[in-house]
Amino acid sequence: MQRSELRGRLERIDEVSWRIPRTARNDMRVDGIVYADEALIESLGDDPALDQVANVATLPGIRGASLAMPDIHWGYGFCIGGVAATDPTQGGVISPGGVGYDINCGVRLLRTTLDERDLVGPLERLIEALLAHVPTGVGRSGPYHFDRRELLALMSEGVPFLRRRGLADDEDVAHCESEGCLADARPDLVSGVALERGADQCGTVGSGNHFVEVQVVDRVVDEEAAAAFGLAPGQVCVLIHSGSRGLGYQVCDDALRALRGVPARHGIELPDRQLACAPLASSEGQAYLGAMRAAANYAFCNRQLITQQVREVFERVFERPWQRLGLELVYDVAHNIAKLESHRVDGEEKMLCVHRKGATRAFPAGHAEVPAAYRAVGQPVMVPGDMGRASWVLVGGPRSMERSFGSSCHGAGRALSRKAALKAAKGRDVRAELAAHGVIARASSRRGLDEEQPDAYKDVDRVVEVVHRAGLSTRVARLRPLGVIKG
């Protein structure tokens, strides 16, 4: 890959943000804004992600700017870390590339009443039990099977469907983004192939960067927000990262095929065919939006069913009901999604379609969509790092609405491609290296650990520092890994 010519056109706004001026290319409708410090910009090297930021700035109806978070790296259509809001009243479009193949890939954090000292003896047994009990890896099926009628209901209702079946409680629903259900989902528009792929995968972790990680609260920065989230130093937590599995992948694949000729029919010229899109007001745009929402609801349910299995493992290992172990949901956020949200643009309140591709919603204190228990401090934002260093809990920042449509980073962001990570791991034992640092790592394959080694990721502390200083989301607590299972 060649170094982007746009590197030379970047204008520094402040210490943690940069502008690609709309004059950099004739087809850009708005500026591109990248949140990063100088070292993170330099670390992009030959990554073409900046070109993708500029490409997104050409989409019809885009408002504000084409945005990228500090975990920016190349993706399909949009860069990972990309955010774009389009206005339906101005011909605004919806693009599957702005959501991603793994629709509603996201993370959820569970707290416990356990202390790190409680895991001194049982930790390895706990991690082995999680690997045995929670399905991980490519194509794995889980213990929950749904017939067509049940699957359609699950995709329509989201986590409240599971609550009716005794697989979630009221707090699980209340502490999910959008209460675990996107309204106006259209499971009837999901293909039979997608339904078949999803029939037995709800409640499975999958492969790649997905995981279940046992962590300890290493440090608290914001005591008020930490108290509201029920977090304290030394406390054991569990972070879950997964999405819509094969069902969501198929929904995206089906949509990209269906939209292949749509931009031309609507007179839309695109700099990259991976930005295939349709006006939100069109039948094609509404069809993708409805199917995407159905897949998103499936993903919320997937993480909830993984939670149920994690609770069962903790009950077995510690011989107490999960309720007595305090294994409660702090929050669940999506980071591959498009949602209709109200935002102020040019002094006017507008309903916009906000694409977040590898970016997390980060609404501030007082926002009506923040759960009542957290409204005084703001929405929890979980930022996984890597399995050797740390993850962070943040809270929606005071400038998120004005600067990023209420968005923040979603993780550390890859520093090495999977191919490069495998090459770097050759001749090494990543599992042993992690064990030497006090982290018990288990995976369904050695390749999974090699691809996800700590060196494959940017320094999450640096990434978090950028969004903190930019006011997009602010630091609450740092979480240190103790053990992890991966695909």
Supply the CATH number for residue 475's domain.
3.90.1860.10
- Residue 292, helix vs strand vs coil: helix
Chain mean position to CA 84: 15
Residues of the chain above pLDDT 90, percent: 94
Chain mean position to CA 269: 29
Band of residue 424 on the pLDDT scale cut at 50, 70, 90: very high
DSSP string, 434-464: HHHTT-EEEESSHHHHHHT-GGGB--HHHHH
The position carrying tokens 């090495």 is 416
* pLDDT at 191 > cutoff 70: yes
Q: Which of 133, 410, 437, 468 is catalytic?
A: 410
- Residue 20, helix vs strand vs coil: strand
pLDDT score of 139: 78
Residues of the chain above pLDDT 70, percent: 99
Contact 56, 98 (CB under 8 A): yes
Residue 134: half-sphere exposure toward Cβ, Cα within 13 Å: 37
Contact 301, 293 (CB under 8 A): no
Strands 328-334 and 278-279: unpaired
84 forms beta bridges with: 355
Task: Give me 421's structure tokens.
Answer: 């990570």
Band of residue 182 on the pLDDT scale cut at 50, 70, 90: very high
* pLDDT at 64 > cutoff 70: yes
Q: Against a cut of 0.85, is the pTM above it?
A: yes
CB atoms near residue 115 (< 10 Å): 15
What's at 366, amino acid-wise? Answer: G
3-state secondary structure the chain: CCCCHHHHHCEEEECCEEEECHHHCCCCCCEEEEECCHHHHHHCCCCCHHHHHHHHCCCCCEEEEEEEEEEEECCCCCCEEEEEEECHHHCCEECHHHCCCCCCCEEEEEEEEEEHHHHCCCHHHHHHHHHHHCCCCCCCCCCCCCCHHHHHHHHHHCHHHHHHCCCCCHHHHHCEHHHHCCCCCCHHHCCHHHHHHHCCCCCCCCCCCCEEEEEEEEEECCHHHHHHHCCCCCEEEEEEEECCHHHHHHHHHHHHHHCCCHHHHCCCCCCCHHHCCEECCCHHHHHHHHHHHHHHHHHHHHHHHHHHHHHHHHHHHHCCCCCCCCCEEEEEEECEEEEEEEEEECCEEEEEEEEEECEEECCECCCCCCCHHHCCCECEEEECCCCCCCEEEEEECCCHHHHHCCEEECCCCECCCHHHHHHHHCCCCHHHHHHHCCCEEEECCHHHHHHCCHHHECCHHHHHHHHHHHCCEEEEEEEEEEEEEEC
Strands 407-409 and 93-94: unpaired
Mean pLDDT across 85-96: 98
* pLDDT at 146 > cutoff 90: yes
Task: Give me 35's structure tokens.
Answer: 């949140």
Q: What is the pLDDT of residues 230-271, one digit of tens each?
A: 999 999 999 999 999 999 999 999 999 999 999 999 999 999
- Enclosing domain of residue 419: 5-486
Task: Give me 425's structure tokens.
Answer: 């791991």
pLDDT score of 140: 81
The number of folded domains in the chain is: 1
What's at 206, amino acid-wise? Answer: G
What's the rounded Cα separation, in Å, for the pair 304 and 310? 10
Contact 290, 186 (CB under 8 A): yes
* pLDDT at 54 > cutoff 90: yes
Mean pLDDT across 399-411: 98
Q: What is the pLDDT of residues 279-296, one digit of tens each?
A: 999 999 999 999 999 999
Mean pLDDT across 356-382: 98
What's the rounded Cα separation, in Å, for the pair 114 and 66? 43
For residue 266, indicate whether it is catalytic.
no
What's the rounded Cα separation, in Å, for the pair 416 and 420? 6
Mean pLDDT across 217-236: 98
Band of residue 3 on the pLDDT scale cut at 50, 70, 90: low
- Which element (helix H / strand E) includes 111? strand 106-115
CB neighbours of 327 closer than 8 A, spacing ≥ 6?
Answer: 110, 111, 112, 238, 310, 311, 314
- Residue 372, helix vs strand vs coil: helix
pLDDT score of 1: 44
- Residue 31, helix vs strand vs coil: strand
- Residue 218, helix vs strand vs coil: strand
Q: Which runs of consecutive H residues, i.e. helices, occur in 236-345?
A: 245-258, 262-265, 283-318
